[in-house]
Structure 1
Amino acid sequence: MQLKLFLVATALALSAPSAEAQQMAFGKGVCEKFVLGRNNMTKECDTKLMNSTYDNGRTGFYFVFKRGSIITFSGMDRPNPTPDTDLFAIDKVIFSAGGATKEFAATGSCRYGNYKAGHKRIRCKGTSDDGQPFEAVFRLTAPPEG
């Protein structure tokens, strides 16, 4: 599964617009909430999460699902609300499953903090371009690797 995850993340990174990834991190933990529109997908959400950061300020969180699909919240970095928290504005949601990838415009934000400072939750919330709300909360149980 880790190799498959790496290959999907690499394919997504390669499809990003001419920016080079500065950092790719892998986390383990608990998907506490994952809701898209009226679909509560929390039970299908896996214990793995990936994060990519590009030199142009784009970043993304890749939520992995038990059947191999990945949903990514992607957007541009914003000023840190506090010294130990970070924020990015979501401008698209990317669905990857079975070798196919689809992007949808969206608005929202992901907020997360410094694991070493005790901040272990990643929270993403917003609305797709067709008006569907989404929300995801992931709690890290170990320091991210990468």
Structure 2
Amino acid sequence: MQKVLVSARCKPQSKVIIKNSNYSYGDAIDYFASKISSESTRLRVEIELLKDEISELEDVLKKTQRKIEEKREYLQLLESRYSADFEVDEKILESIRSIKSIAEVFDCDPMEINEFTGNDTIGFHAMKCGITRLELEELLRMNI
């Protein structure tokens, strides 16, 4: 439980007694508060403190959920921009078909074609189409 700062004045004797004991001033205040309160008062105070703590946690949760929702919306925006900017034209489709055809001849996955041809076939087709190798690999994985 979080502690709070309390300022108080006491008799000099009380200060010396507490200072010479193994307890802190906060321990002394906590002990005294427990002795002067009834069980029902302590329970009521604990209930109120727990209600406040729950309320604070719910506020944090709401803020976190809003942040998550904002991030999801931004992600959707980025994904829509990415797919809108990236158009698969006939030249790209032709390269994909060519890579898949070569992969069939070698009986391999299109992503492994470079190992069988000994050349950078995917890189060649990506450059020919004016896209990055990563984009062409992604299209090959998408099975267009």
> Would you say same fold, with TM above 0.5?
no
**Greater Rg over alpha carbons, structure:** 2
Q: Which has the higher strand share?
A: 1
Q: Which has the higher helix share?
A: 2
TM-score bracket for this pair, using the shorter chain length: under 0.3
Where relative contact order (Cα < 8 A, 6+ residues apart) is larger, the structure is: 1
TM-score normalised by the chain length of structure 2: 0.19
